[in-house]
Structure 1
Amino acid sequence: MTRPRPFSQEWIDYFIPSTVHWDATGFPDISGAVMRNLVRVSADRPYGITDPEVLDVYEGLATYKRMSELRREPIPGNYDLTHLRRIHHHLFQDVYPWAGELRTAPRDWPMVKHGPDVQAYRRGVRNPPEIAHRYFAAKEIRGYGTAVLERMAAKNHLRGLDRETFVDELTKVWARINYVHPFREGNTRAQFAFFTQLSADAGYSFQTARFQPAEANLPHENSLVGDLREQFVWGRFEYMQTGDTTLLRETIDAAVVVASAPPDRTESTPAPSYDLSAVRTATAGHPRPIGRMLSGSTESRGESVEALGPERAPAHDAGYEL
């Protein structure tokens, strides 16, 4: 009988080997690791640059350029998983060797990120703790991602819907595909490009500029937790924690407007527009709980079992049925 690996080697393989350190027990420390990249690759640097700050700046510039190209000339497709992968590849082709490829790790247990305990906030805790939120395991991505987008295709890719129904349906499919989390990195930027294009095709404009962080001293109307960017982040976590899409829907509702003219697929059709700086702020900093990510254990590296919450919280959502 083969014993399970003590950690996800597939996750470690995303990083430059020389930047991964190992503790005395043989467990990898990736707190300072840098992902393999395509920046300044040479014989001496076969895996790209090892400076995380330089890589972050380069990634921002490169994806801004590629997002601008998508604004001028969207990638045609059927709004399926292949189409989403092509968009992700276009955005990150200059940065990562795995651009456009589905996430391969953790293969056998959920990927997790730390984010706010939205349920606690709803109960009146104004400064809620961060808890671990689960995404699908890598081995489940293709099946569930395909199922989510096929359900959208069955609704004619949301074309011909009144605004309220369109916002309802866009919210559901966005929450679901984010929960699948198909890519190792860059999911939010790929989602913004994908759903902005889909919105334009359905006769709506998704205004990404609305996701710029608001001035701290400005009042926010209809805001649960600050500006629209915060609501977007919290809304996705709320869905993952409880299956509730209320906050995410309010966020998307604030960014969707009816296009000035219905799309006719001619040269005069307005292209989708992106504000990349706003998109980047919407990805903001959710530190990965490294022990859980690598080992899949509820007991590992100081994480509490209670913080992980129930398995597959949104599983009641029929959008994932295979």
Structure 2
Amino acid sequence: MNTDKYGVGHDPDCYLGTDVLKNLLDLRDERDLNEAERYLTEKCATQFEFQEPPYSLATLKDIHHTLFSRIYSWAGELRTVKISKGGNQFCIPERIEPEATKEFSRLKAAGWFDGYSREQLVVACADSYGTINVLYPFREGNGRTQRILFEWIIVNAGYKIDWWAVDQQEWVAANISSFHGNDHHLNQIFERCIGMPIQEDVHS
């Protein structure tokens, strides 16, 4: 049986004979779909305003829906198929909700990292980002959705954040390393992207 890029075999979510996800724009070419995704999600991302905690899986669903509702009919809905990339199996669909609840409870117990030093925040964000990435709750668009959530977490903790210093390939490589238990590369990304304390910047 042939498998698509997500390792799910004959995929009813894709156009027949392709690994292109069915979409509201009816784009059948992967490059065209990727370009449309990039354009529309960047445009939708400008609509977000900072949201204070508490955060939850419902927060991720809301973010995903806002980003992708013009592209996919299932925007904001949890995936229902098993997915693997490069031989790495993400969380099975049945475990997404309980595992997400566990991680968000951990974040709540940590006070959403409020009061953390910058060094503590870098390590904590890398660890939590890697954990949520393994959940891979949505069929597509997980990285973009997570980055908005962590932008809010970091701003709520009192720090500036800028993702532009990292390209897509670096995100992918860091997430693969984290999947195998090594958060070093995610640490490097958050070290580069988390800026100075917001209040210090305001009063400087």
| TM-score, with length taken from structure 2 | 0.86
State the partner residue of 1:85.
Answer: 61
**Residue 20 (str. 1) matches residue 16 (str. 2):** yes
CA–CA distance in structure 2, aligned partners of residues 57 and 230 of structure 1: 16
**Residue 151 (str. 1) matches residue 147 (str. 2):** no
* Cα offsets for 1:14-59 (capped at 9, x unmatched): 12xxx313xxxxxxxxxx24322122xxxxxxxx343433322222
Structure 2 residue runs of 5 or longer lacking an equivalent are 1-6
**Residue 59 (str. 1) matches residue 37 (str. 2):** yes
State the partner residue of 1:232.
Answer: 171
Report the CA distance between 1:150 and its aligned residue.
Answer: 1.2
Report the CA distance between 1:174 and its aligned residue.
Answer: 0.3
State the partner residue of 1:245.
Answer: 183
CA–CA distance in structure 1, aligned partners of residues 172 and 30 of structure 2: 24
**Residue 101 (str. 1) matches residue 77 (str. 2):** yes
Aligned length: 195
- Aligned residues: percent identity? 26
SS at match of 1:36: coil
State the partner residue of 2:120.
Answer: 165
- Normalized per residue, the structure richer in helix is 2
* Cα offsets for 1:268-310 (capped at 9, x unmatched): 9xxxxxxxxxxxxxxxxxxxxxxxxxxxxxxxxxxxxxxxxxx
What is the CA RMSD across the aligned residues, in angstroms?
Answer: 2.3
Cα pair distance change 1:150/1:207, threshold 3 Å: same
Q: Equivalent residues in 2 for 1:172-191 (5 A)?
A: 172-191=127-146
State the partner residue of 2:4.
Answer: none
| Larger-Rg structure | 1
Structure 1 residue runs of 5 or longer lacking an equivalent are 1-6, 22-31, 40-47, 115-131, 213-228, 263-267, 269-322
SS at match of 1:69: coil
Is the contact made by 1:81 and 1:145 (CA closer than 8 Å) also made in structure 2? Answer: yes
Cα pair distance change 1:249/1:188, threshold 3 Å: same
CA–CA distance in structure 2, aligned partners of residues 67 and 167 of structure 1: 23
Report the CA distance between 1:98 and its aligned residue.
Answer: 0.7
Is the contact made by 2:136 and 2:142 (CA closer than 8 Å) also made in structure 1? Answer: yes
- Tell me the amino acid that sits aligned with residue 152 of structure 1: L
SS at match of 2:199: coil
CA–CA distance in structure 1, aligned partners of residues 138 and 43 of structure 2: 20
CA–CA distance in structure 2, aligned partners of residues 33 and 246 of structure 1: 32
State the partner residue of 1:257.
Answer: 195
| TM-score, with length taken from structure 1 | 0.56
